[in-house]
Structure 1
Amino acid sequence: MSVDSIDGLGALRGVWDTLAAQADNPSLCEGYPYCELAASIAFEQRMAVRVLLLREGHDLVALWPFVIERRALLRVARRLTCGAREEYGQPLVKLGVGDDIWPALMTALKRLDADLVEVSRVANGTRLQAALDTAPQSRAHRLLPSSKRGHPGYAIGLRGFASFVEFENASLSSRFRQVLRKCRRRLEQLGPVESGWCDTPEETTRLLGWIIEQKRAWAAARSIENEYLEDDRIVAFFSRLAQRLDLSKTPLVAFLKVDGLPVAASLNMVGGQTLEGGVTTYDPAFGEYSVGSLHLYDLLKWAHARGLDFDLRPVHVDYKERWATHRSWHETRELLITARGRLVDVAHLHNYAQRGARKLLRETVRRMRPAAKAPEAAKAAQPGK
């Protein structure tokens, strides 16, 4: 279905909400408010929006929204995004539908007016992955080793535990729990400690700004480049989303405060049976108190009390390895819809060559530095020098 305006998308609101209520663990990213905001941004940038609808009789059983963007000579269809392009790319699918839905969705994908369809962060071993792998895909992308094509995913299966204490005993070492208790006691000596969620759009925006500034400082200190941290897309998007949501039911930003000031905070997404972690950070001045771990611990207690699992999302970070009870593997699939789509292989090979050249240059410089310093060191070691 071609959507030319927000009003056109709004015509789907009723069936969209109904399907989300019937879907298997839908993410906030798959819900109408999130996609409506992402679509409005796409329209502002003069990009086309398409929504694939699949029905069985009169019942809508699957819905898959895309934006079509231009990348050089290619028309690329990808998931509606907040700007960071880190959303899972799966469709919204009614719980209990049969396997025949997946070939039908693949047929619908091939009718998109695009040369290439990009489906991000697809979990291996799922029905979606099996269906996507029946379609022609980028050969150059497949040349990369698996470790370069995707990321490990981490999750904490809280719903499998009758009580939070049961989760702690099964998943966290007694020493780690002892360290957390000690850190909290020390933190409480600095002032009142408060853990909770922003309950107004204004407070959400303020804490979002704090999160991004902390992340920018963290990245700069480590010479890490991250596109979404370089501008204000995240803050702008989720600030606008906070205006659309009932934050008492679907909160976005959680915090840990000491004496009224944030020391750790995170952007999260509540949907279906999952609390999905987004951007997490803390004030390094409070690092010795393990405020990041204390903040995550409080989030897990909150999630368990509401019957939610916790998705730490793909990309390896040491703390995820320590907390996770489930691990998975996620890769982005690039489906070739037209012959022109093969041009993506040229782009990939060009990027690989550039990366290889940069790596070779760094290695050459690294090897030359000791050789350049050796004569100077020998000269300095001579008597009388």
Structure 2
Amino acid sequence: MNQADCQFEIVSNEDDLRALEHEWDDLWSRAHGQYGQSFSVCWLAWQHVAKPRGRRLCCIVHRENGRVAMVWPLVTYRRLLWTYLCPLSPEAGDYTRVLMADSPNSSALIAGAWRTALTRCGADFIKLPYVDEGSDLHAVASRERHVMIAARTVAAFAKLRDETEWDAFCKTLGTMSGKKPGALERRLSKEGQLAVRVTEPGDARENAVLVDWILARKRAWGDRVGKRGEWLDSSHYRDFLVNLLCPANGRAMGRLFVVTLDGAPVAATVVGVGTTCVDGLIASFDDRYARFGPGSIVVEHVIKWAFEQRLNVDFGVGAERFKAYWSRNNITGAWSAQIANSRWGVFAFRSKKTVRAAARRMARLSGVSGGQRRGASAFVPDNHDNPDSVRGLDLPMNPS
């Protein structure tokens, strides 16, 4: 291990991770961190998702003059004979980002953290969901020799912090499906007593009920459109969302917005709140009211709330029309990848491709449809050889 590698510490113990809280919070504030980069959110992800699923901590930390200057929270897990390294997160299609303040040495530090991940975490595969295209992390990871899977999608980001007047901002948007902001809400209000509100962070019962409501309708929507990520059925992810809204320490990093008609929910969304930005996490609506656009109504209120708080809005990945509309077509790229990091990993991936190719040939020769392909994919631990399976974790917000 050379001197540069010694500058990076790997935290693999829960108590040591907890001991970083105050330094982590300080860095998060200095770096204008996003919701998912905060210690509170990462700790919840560890306690309610990663730890119950048997993950192991592998958090990379860099210090400068004794002060924490970089944190990259990662975990490893075993699947059959292979070890995977992935971000510490709720595992629901979240971004992969390294927390650090802007510095002339940023590129070198990212390169050092990446080298540490490759050489000291013992992984056969490295999984990177949704890395910001053009970032230092994207640059260093995309240069790897054994990038086995690479898939690009788009994301939208609404820059609101420099706006000063809501009505003036809305005028710059034009219309979406022929409707201006506020029109759908006025239309739905004719059907009954309409209310839009943010739930109280301390109301654990209501927040839990509404989280269950969102997940149930999101599962039904996923079945209809063929985008059913496993996290939708995960009790771990459900518990993460509930605790995000009602944390034990009283510092809620999430907010839940709900639209009700005559007291019953018709749309709701959970968002994460960072230092300068609101992140869309998950949303759904009652399909019986789809023609009124209740999902669009709740999103509009999230954006207006963020506007009033002087926060930007990150809509997450996905090319839905409403994201381009509210972001005024401020569209960026996000890159997901799986990288083989050992000879054993390369062998496994190539063997899987060979088996699947053979299965396709056999299917063609026998006249059988491609339905047999799934059986062949069990050779390698994770079924992520198809870029679409990576993108299948998208749509953190899906209004009508």
Match of 1:58 in 2: 66
Percent of aligned pairs with the same residue?
20
Q: CA deviation at 1:15?
A: 1.2
- Structure 1: gaps spanning 5 or more residues: 143-148, 365-385
Tell me how far apart the structure 2 counterparts of residues 217 and 186 of structure 1 sit (CA, whole Å): 25
Q: Does 1:205 align with 2:213?
A: no
Tell me how far apart the structure 2 counterparts of residues 296 and 355 of structure 1 sit (CA, whole Å): 45
**Partner amino acid for 2:241?**
F
Contact 1:254/1:265, CA 8 A, preserved across alignment:
yes
Match of 1:382 in 2: none
Match of 1:36 in 2: 43
Write out the 4+ residue segments of structure 1 that deviate beyond 4 Å after TM superposition: 1-5, 245-249, 350-364
What TM-score results when the alignment is normalised by the length of structure 1?
0.82
Deviations 1:87-109 (A, max 9, x none): 11111112335232222222222
**Partner amino acid for 1:115?**
D
Q: CA deviation at 1:157?
A: 1.7
Report the secondary structure of 1:82's partner residue: coil
Report the secondary structure of 2:307's partner residue: helix
Tell me how far apart the structure 1 counterparts of residues 349 and 295 of structure 2 sit (CA, whole Å): 41
Tell me how far apart the structure 1 counterparts of residues 17 and 351 of structure 2 sit (CA, whole Å): 33
Deviations 1:5-41 (A, max 9, x none): 4323211112111111111x42222111221122234
Q: Does 1:104 align with 2:115?
A: no
Which region of structure 1 is more displaced relative to structure 2, 3-12 or 152-161?
Answer: 3-12
Match of 2:132 in 1: 123
Q: CA deviation at 1:62?
A: 0.6
Match of 1:13 in 2: 21
Contact 1:253/1:265, CA 8 A, preserved across alignment:
yes
Q: CA deviation at 1:253?
A: 1.6
Deviations 1:268-315 (A, max 9, x none): 111121111111111122222221111111111101111111111112
Q: How does 1:59-98 map to 2 (within 5 A)?
A: 59-84=67-92, 86-98=93-105
Match of 1:340 in 2: 344
Measured on the aligned residues, the alpha-carbon RMSD in Å equals 2.9
- Structure 1 residues 243 and 343: alpha-carbon distance in aligned structure 2, compared to 1, 3 A threshold: farther
Tell me how far apart the structure 1 counterparts of residues 212 and 321 of structure 2 sit (CA, whole Å): 25
Tell me how far apart the structure 2 counterparts of residues 156 and 247 of structure 1 sit (CA, whole Å): 28
Report the secondary structure of 1:220's partner residue: helix
Q: CA deviation at 1:133?
A: 2.5
Tell me how far apart the structure 1 counterparts of residues 259 and 355 of structure 2 sit (CA, whole Å): 41
**Partner amino acid for 1:136?**
R
**One of 159, 162, 171 as aligned partner of 2:161:** 159
**Partner amino acid for 1:67?**
V
Match of 2:197 in 1: 196
Match of 1:145 in 2: none
- Structure 1 residues 11 and 197: alpha-carbon distance in aligned structure 2, compared to 1, 3 A threshold: same
What TM-score results when the alignment is normalised by the length of structure 2?
0.79
**One of 174, 194, 217 as aligned partner of 1:214:** 217
User: Number of aligned pairs?
Assistant: 354
Q: Which has the larger radius of gyration?
A: 1
Match of 1:379 in 2: none
- Structure 1 residues 44 and 8: alpha-carbon distance in aligned structure 2, compared to 1, 3 A threshold: farther
- Structure 1 residues 245 and 43: alpha-carbon distance in aligned structure 2, compared to 1, 3 A threshold: closer
Q: CA deviation at 1:77?
A: 0.7
Contact 2:245/2:256, CA 8 A, preserved across alignment:
no
Match of 2:143 in 1: 134
Report the secondary structure of 1:244's partner residue: coil
- Structure 1 residues 285 and 72: alpha-carbon distance in aligned structure 2, compared to 1, 3 A threshold: same
Tell me how far apart the structure 2 counterparts of residues 75 and 342 of structure 1 sit (CA, whole Å): 13
Q: Does 1:284 align with 2:266?
A: no
Tell me how far apart the structure 2 counterparts of residues 228 and 160 of structure 1 sit (CA, whole Å): 35
Tell me how far apart the structure 2 counterparts of residues 331 and 316 of structure 1 sit (CA, whole Å): 14
Contact 1:82/1:234, CA 8 A, preserved across alignment:
yes
Contact 1:197/1:251, CA 8 A, preserved across alignment:
no
- Structure 1 residues 59 and 97: alpha-carbon distance in aligned structure 2, compared to 1, 3 A threshold: farther
Deviations 1:239-274 (A, max 9, x none): 133332677863332111122221111121111211
- Structure 1 residues 135 and 219: alpha-carbon distance in aligned structure 2, compared to 1, 3 A threshold: closer
Report the secondary structure of 1:162's partner residue: coil
Q: CA deviation at 1:63?
A: 0.5
- Structure 1 residues 4 and 234: alpha-carbon distance in aligned structure 2, compared to 1, 3 A threshold: same
Match of 2:298 in 1: 295
Contact 1:266/1:278, CA 8 A, preserved across alignment:
yes
Contact 2:244/2:253, CA 8 A, preserved across alignment:
no
Tell me how far apart the structure 2 counterparts of residues 33 and 354 of structure 1 sit (CA, whole Å): 47
Q: Does 1:330 align with 2:345?
A: no
Deviations 1:338-385 (A, max 9, x none): 322313532662696499689996699xxxxxxxxxxxxxxxxxxxxx
- Structure 1 residues 273 and 186: alpha-carbon distance in aligned structure 2, compared to 1, 3 A threshold: same
- Structure 2: gaps spanning 5 or more residues: 1-8, 372-400
- Structure 1 residues 132 and 182: alpha-carbon distance in aligned structure 2, compared to 1, 3 A threshold: closer
Deviations 1:202-223 (A, max 9, x none): 2221111110111122223345
